[in-house]
Amino acid sequence: MGFRDLRAFNLAMLAKQGWRLLQEDESLLFKCFKARYFPRSNFLEAVIPPNCSFVWRSIMAAQSILKNGCCWRTGNGYSISVFEDRWIPNHPTNKILYPASEEFDGRLVADLLDPDLHCWRRELITSVFHTDDVEAICRIPLSHRYVPDILVWMHNKNGLFSVKSAYRLAVQILKGEEWTESSSGCAGKNVWNAPWKLNIPNKIKVFGWRACQEILPTRSNLAKRRIIHDNVCLNCTRFPESTIHALWDCGVAMDVWAGSSLKLQKCVHGQADMLELMEYLLSKLSVQEMELFLVQAWLIWNQRNNLLHGGMIQDPNTLCRRAVVYLEEYRNSQGHLRIDGVGRSVGDVWKPPPNSVFKLNFDAAVFGEAKRTGFGAVIRNDMGAVMAAMSAGGPPVSSSDEAELLACRKAVEFSTDAGFSELVIEGDNSNVLKALSSSLADWSLLGNVVDDVRQLAYGLRWVKFSCIRRGGNRVAHALAQHARNISEDMFWLEDSPPPALNALYQDSLLL
């Protein structure tokens, strides 16, 4: 089943019962325990009283897991304490880090919200909190409706509790370490995303991810599983062969890195594991140098495997040259595989909507250096004529999914204000369109925005959500990119927007 620590597994199963006490307030279990153990608070604030039942004492053993794994999703703010609760996603400890100004006498997050405009009271927040806390608070997306606060599980993207994620959290708590579930964890967050954005073969991306996860079949890992008894490195015969040793600290590996690029030569050693090494290298190297590093590490690992099966150690300079040539060959091959825009597949071509129906295309662009986003939207009829278009600026975001959802909400609000009631809503983010099309409640941290779009869609006479590839969404993309240079939102009615004329012309040629 994948569970190796029975104590952590038991705690995860108990945490599931604690989660029920947080979510199912109509159940008999909740009513019995609340009446006796936490009549004026919730389960996260409950304590173990004298002479309590064995069942309650057992469930309370998993309370720390829920405290570390839960986070409030801000609605109206009346259920969340500003300083005591976890309510700031993508922020260390998910709480306020620095002391607030003594002039602030508010206790609830509701004191930081404008109930009429459904936005943060930025001037108040800026005057009360530290800059780091201000940026983290103002990044939290708010609903445009009056909705309650709810507790969500941070360690699943869907916001729902699972025993699997709770088990992993329990293992880290028992070890006294900070938890990193996967690419969504806190520690090493930049590392998990970095390899997938590099222009290198997929097998090397997977190799880099496995190295950071410490799941390569090194002799130390094999010894832990009792497959072998000796964990000493076969290359240097001096130290245990961990992942960081095999790829970075071993004498054979260091000879290879000594002949690599100058920046790699100057990088220091002594990191605890590959995750720490990758974080260090990402702060020192360019994208091209990171690509070379991973290719070189992959070749070092292959040489280690060849030596294990009777091969010979190659000259370090040969491996260095091979890494450069291999990377160059891959880049050239990718250039030959690119397809000209004229030969686009069907999914890359914008298609007009059915008769008497309009199509709304939306897109978002993230401008990291400017700490803002751009939203673009265009509404066209069955002849491909532009009926309305929009280019607007947006707030900084934590993910591309969040940017796309905010763009969709802005686009649907714009189309509703413009008087369109029969729409095909189309975007190029499959995660967002899947969430919007689902009939299930969305418990994720972005669930408030998802529900806003659904409520807007329910108000339309006819609606359909559709996903298309980026090539078929180029007009909305051009409008989103145009938002980089504007200070006020721009709108066009029954007129072709100048920033997207080229994209509109390309779409017209393919109709």
Cα angle at 205 between 364 and 248, to 5 degrees? 130
Residue 81 phi, psi dihedral angles, 5° rounding: -85, 135
Domain that holds residue 406: 346-509
Inside any domain, residue 171: no
Residue 462 phi, psi dihedral angles, 5° rounding: -150, 135
Domain end residue (candidates: 284, 318, 337): 337
Q: Are strands 462-467 and 422-427 parallel, antiparallel or unpaired?
A: parallel
Inside any domain, residue 180: no
- Non-local (6+) Cβ contacts of 144 within 8 A are 118, 409, 413, 452
- Same domain as 388, residue 327: no
- Same domain as 311, residue 281: yes
Please give the pLDDT value at position 188: 54
- Same domain as 474, residue 375: yes
Closest CA to 251 of 262, 270, 261, 238: 238
Inside any domain, residue 156: yes
In the chain, how many domains are there?
3
Verdict on whether the full-model pTM lies above 0.85: no
Q: Residue 442: give its domain's CATH number.
A: 3.30.420.10
Grouped pLDDT means (10 residues each) for the chain, 511 residues: 77 95 92 93 91 93 94 95 92 90 83 93 92 93 95 93 93 67 50 83 91 90 89 87 90 87 76 85 86 91 88 87 90 67 58 94 92 95 94 92 96 95 95 93 94 95 93 94 93 94 90 74
- Same domain as 238, residue 319: yes
Please give the pLDDT value at position 461: 94
Helix (H) or strand (E) segment spanning residue 252? helix 251-258
Domain end residue (candidates: 111, 144, 163): 163
- Same domain as 382, residue 307: no
Closest CA to 397 of 445, 466, 437: 445
Please give the pLDDT value at position 261: 79
Secondary structure of the chain: what % helix, strand, coil (to 5)? 50, 10, 40
- Same domain as 499, residue 370: yes
Alpha-carbon torsion, ordered 485, 363, 429, 433, to 10 deg: 140
Are 376 and 477 within 8 A, CB to CB? Answer: yes
- Same domain as 381, residue 358: yes
Inside any domain, residue 173: no
Please give the pLDDT value at position 338: 54
Inside any domain, residue 1: no
- Same domain as 331, residue 387: no
Residue 119 phi, psi dihedral angles, 5° rounding: -145, 170
Inside any domain, residue 176: no
Please give the pLDDT value at position 340: 43
- Same domain as 142, residue 235: no
CA distances 309 to 216, 295, 304, Å, are 17, 21, 9
Kindly provide the b/e burial profile for residues 54-89, where b requires at least 16 CB atoms within 10 angstroms of the residue's own CB: eebeebbbbbebbebbbbbbbbbbebbebeebbbbb
- Same domain as 384, residue 478: yes
* Pairwise CA distance, residues 69 & 153, whole Å: 6
- Same domain as 326, residue 224: yes
Inside any domain, residue 181: no
Inside any domain, residue 134: yes
- Same domain as 312, residue 268: yes
Burial of 130 (0-12, 13-18, 19+ CB in 10 A): middle
Please give the pLDDT value at position 337: 60
Are 82 and 112 within 8 A, CB to CB? Answer: yes
Please give the pLDDT value at position 480: 96
Domain end residue (candidates: 279, 302, 337): 337
Please give the pLDDT value at position 276: 86
